[in-house]
Structure 1
Amino acid sequence: MASRMVRSLPLNPLRFRCRSLNSTASSDAAAAAAAVSPLNFVEKLSPAAPAAAKTIDLDNTERLFAGLPTTKLLRSSAILHAVAVEPTVDVGSWVMRSRLMDVAPVRGAVLRVVKHTFFEHFCAGEDAEEAVRTVGKLNRTGLRGMLDYAPEDAEDNEACDRNTAEFLRTVESARSLPPSSVSFIVVKITAICPIDLLGRVSDLLRWQCKDPSFQLPWKRDSFPIFSASSPLYHTPRQPEHLTPQEERDLLLAHQRLQTLCQKCQEANIPLCVDAESTAVQPGIDYFTYAAVITHNKHEPFVYGTMQAYRKDARERLLLASEEAEKRGVVMGIKLVRGAYMPSERKLADSLGQESPIHNTIQDTHDCYNECASFMLEKITSRSGAVVLATHNVKSGKLAAAKARDLGIGNQKLEFAQLYGMAESFSFGLRNAGFQVSKYMPFGNVDMVIPYLLRRAEENRGMLSASTLDRQLMRKELWRRLKAATL
């Protein structure tokens, strides 16, 4: 395959070269590229993967779904087909967002239907104990679990304290499982810091980016948060400084995160901080990188999340990685494509601004592959770790081939997919010898409705994210039916 052209990105005065995972290069060319600058994404793929490398086989459905009983396969297939019917998604989404949900009998009926269909398919349970049991079942199929207590947008300290207690309970429950069954505890900063305060912090950080002389006396040691192309339009004018009460509340949020980090370290389970919308992402990155400085001195323990559908993802990943190396800490990144595209574009349009999301899906794919390649290179230099969270088979296969080519083991590389999605791909990666996790949200049905609505949008349409799974599940069900009737 032909090499990609060198792309200069608008990170002034920094420039870096990007070549995607599907580039090829001779060893001499790779060595020359490596010498250009430490600010370059460097591709070192050899022309072909070693003969000993296993391939990701998605054709043998009998082997792929060997661990799934027919009843489970039927149920999963039926739900994914239902979600692919666009009128079903449209009506369901409208109902769950409408005032009908304020009518108690209607709400009760809707939540019962949701619980026994989409909730059970996409979520791990209603509490930590149930979620841990689900992880145990999953682990018997050779996959691991990323446990995510799913509240978002806590309004006050009382709600944040309740959420923190549940996160700590999750860690304690996970300790009952065999070692390594749980790959990560996942936390959303919006669950442990009041959403309005996190928005205020993000506004102040954005304004300081616009005006470096603007002082933030409460600001802790952290990494660079913005690149030259990061969106700052959320903060059109100088915000008011935090009040003394807000500063106290911010300290409480830091303490909650610190307590959770300590609990996870005691249990030897890494902590992954989720990414959210651009309105509050600066505050999330600020919390994340402050924790990284404290806890990642020798091994990647606290992981941040980078959304490749953002136009500034490459530059922000580069800046964070450079800063980690300067400080002698190990950067752990969960790389995702992103899940807030409609709301981000709507907000930007309402403010008369360009969307922070890539203009085309191919631009997002290219960005994801380039960031994945960069992080795999970091692993070879022992200065990074990555969770490649993707449902895109092409991206996954390219990353897997490069990991094999570079001799990367499972210690600092994990693939991940959402629970209830991309099952065939997860099992294919597992069969090829990679470590694979499923992202497993849990909480009461009311709490996870925002998450379920995002999954419904992802899977709607016959060419949706679940297309491959639906095809392969039908193939396997047909194979099992024929085998049973012979």
Structure 2
Amino acid sequence: MDPKPLISFDNTENAFAYKSEKSLRKASFLFTSMGFQTLVKLGTSITPWAIRAGLPIRGLIRNTIFEQFVGGETLEETAPVVNTMAKYHVQVILDYGVEGGDYGEEGLDHAGEEFMKVIRYAATQPNIPFMSIKVTGLARTGLLEKLDAASATKSGFEGRVHTEVLTDSEKKEWDKVVGRMERICGLAAELKVGVLIDAEESWIQDPVDALTMQMMAKYNKEVAVVYNTMQLYRIDRLQFLKDSYNAAEQQGFVLGAKLVRGAYMEKERERAAEMSYPSPIQPNKEACDRDYNLAVEFCVEHVERIAVIVASHNEFSNLYTTQLMERKGLAHDHEHIHFSQLYGMSDNITFNLAKAGYAVSKYLPFGPIQDVIPYLMRRAQENSSVAGHTGRELGLIKKELARRKSTD
């Protein structure tokens, strides 16, 4: 029998203490709108086109979905959000919202410089322990695909990238990618800022895993600087976590593991069906939840060598982590266990964990509106397709509005 909960995620007074009544009403309207699937489908197909076409909708986006889920268009604009979070003992993971696209070498170099700018800024802020990067912001997607296809053994945890399939010019291109990663991780190690490497689609993930393991082997000797993101909606990731741990043990470094359920499920299933290969995605939600919670168990069990970030909006997974920590006698703010949720979602989890003394952060993207549109469209689709989650968010907001009204 599970021990009694150490914490309640139903406390809306804690969850929304940082929000004014006006902000709560705005959020209520937005989540209600995202409950209408037809409206979301229409919005997600028209918005990217409208932005590209220069239609005057930036103000509308900025005052609604952008304001809810993004920290600002520039690094400096994130400061008020970061300062507000600090008042409630919630930390921040900064994410410069650039991802896959054909930017050219100049654009990829620029993204690398921006990531380093974020690290320098985070190093001056006591409330920003981590920043997040996407390798698709540093490397051409086609190059990653070619490298992934060459990695038939699927052994990214070995830290080996199969460059023998590349042409001479592609090898030079890959060397530049490695150079960008080296500069980013080296600076982060020097300035003591954690770097979370985001997960990608399964058909480009192998070289990302291998490169991340290379960086961990070099920079995680004493403390966790570099973290790999593991999407547990993939059937192979629990084993990959264990293999990565074995590699860390053999090579003498701390494994940084950010555990998520995943972000590309529909895309993954569609591609597998189109190209007639077995889907890498779990058969159902139960299987995904099981592997996620087993991954958390594994990390807590091996907490001496694994620094884990439980990046989840699932209430049970967060609660279960606190129970495992209690069972093992670990401090709430243990240096190797961190919790995180996306800015704009699951405040009931984040702020109640913070109130109970756990190390927890909000993942805070920032960037020009046109650059964060893919991120925003994913948030809209996610909240539309997961009706239960939207209903939960909305129910909590309404509960808090009613509580405030009754105490007036």
The answer, yes or no, to whether TM exceeds 0.5 is yes
Aligned partner of 2:10 among 59, 76, 79: 59
Q: Shift in Å at residue 239 of structure 1?
A: 11
Q: Deviations over 1:189-244 (max 9, x none)?
A: 111112221222212223xx28x9xxxxxxxxx73379xxxxxxxxxxx9982111
Q: In the alignment, residue 201 of structure 2 is paired with which amino acid?
A: S
Partner of 1:90: 41
- How far is the alpha carbon of 1:451 from its aligned partner? 0.9
Q: State the shift of 1:462 in Å.
A: 7.5
Match of 1:123 in 2: 70
The alpha-carbon deviation at position 139 of structure 1 amounts to 1.7
Conserved in 2, the CA contact under 8 Å of 1:148 and 1:442?
Answer: yes
Q: Distance in 2 between matches of 1:195 and 1:386?
A: 28
Larger Rg: 1
Say if 2:209 is the partner of 1:261: no
Q: Secondary structure at the match of 1:182?
A: coil
Q: Secondary structure at the match of 1:124?
A: coil
Pairs within 5 Å for 1:149-298 = 149-155=96-102, 156-177=104-125, 179=126, 181-206=127-152, 209=153, 223-224=157-158, 241-298=165-222
Could you tell me how far 1:122 is from its partner in structure 2? 0.6
Amino acid at match of 1:149: Y
CA distance in 1 between counterparts of 2:385 and 2:308 reads 31
Q: Residue 422 of structure 1 contacts residue 466 of structure 1 at CA under 8 Å; is this kept in 2?
A: no
Aligned residue pairs: how many? 404
Cα separation, 2, equivalents of 1:266 and 1:132: 23
Alignment partner, residue 427 of structure 1? 351
Does 2:263 correspond to 1:339?
yes
**1:393 maps to amino acid:** E
Q: How does 1:389-468 map to 2 (within 5 A)?
A: 389-409=311-331, 410=333, 411-460=335-384, 463-468=387-392
Alignment check: 8 A CA contact 1:311 1:357 kept: yes
**Separation in 1, partners of 2:51, 2:254:** 46
Aligned equivalent of 1:385, options 296, 301, 307? 307
Counterpart of 2:61? 114
Distance change in 2, residues 1:462/1:262 (3 Å): closer
**Cα distance between partner residues in 1 of 2:278 and 2:171:** 33
Q: Contact between 1:272 and 1:304, CA under 8 Å: does it hold in 2?
A: yes
- Please name the residue that 2:243 is paired with: 319
TM-score normalised per structure 1: 0.79
Deviation at 1:97, TM superposition (A): 5.2
- Structure 1 segments unaligned to the other structure (5+ residues): 2-46, 213-221, 227-237
2:122–2:129 contact (8 Å) kept in structure 1: no
Distance of 2:51 and 2:253 partners within structure 1: 48
3-state DSSP of counterpart to 1:280: helix
User: How far 1:252 sits from its partner (Å)?
Assistant: 1.0
**Partners of 1:281 and 1:123 in 2: how far apart?**
26
Question: Is contact 1:272–1:302 with CA below 8 Å preserved after alignment?
Answer: yes
8 Å contact kept, 1:154–1:193: no
SS in 2 for 1:67: coil
Partner residue, 2:54: 104
Runs of 5+ in structure 2 lacking a partner? none
Aligned to 2:226: 302
**Residues of 1 paired with 2:3 and 2:51: CA distance?**
56
Backbone CA RMSD of aligned residues: 2.2
Which residue is 1:6 aligned to?
none
Alpha-carbon distance in structure 2 between the residues aligned to 1:296 and 1:173: 21
Q: Report if aligned partners of 2:343, 2:363 keep a CA contact under 8 Å in 1.
A: yes
Cα deviation per residue 1:52-82 (whole Å; 9 max; x = unaligned)? xx72223332233223222222222222222
Tell me the SS of whatever aligns to 1:357: coil
Q: Quick one: percent identity of the two aligned structures?
A: 31
Contact 1:154–1:192 at 8 Å: present in 2 too?
no
Aligned partners of 1:171 and 1:464: how far apart in 2?
36
Name the aligned partner's letter for residue 384 of structure 1: I
Judge which range, 247-256 or 70-79, deviates more: 70-79
Distance 1:365 1:297, change over 3 A: same
Tell me which amino acid in the other structure corresponds to 1:64. Answer: A
CA contact (8 A) 2:14 2:348 kept: no
Cα offset for 1:309? 0.2
Shift of 1:373: 0.4
Change (3 A) 1:443 1:256: same
Contact 1:167 1:260 in 2 (8 A): yes
Whether contact under 8 Å (2:148, 2:207) holds in the other structure is: yes
Deviates more, 1:114-123 or 1:238-247: 238-247
Question: Which residue matches 2:81?
Answer: 134
**Contact in 1 for aligned 2:122/2:130 (Cα 8 Å):** no
User: SS at 1:275's partner residue?
Assistant: coil
Is contact 1:132–1:174 with CA below 8 Å preserved after alignment?
no
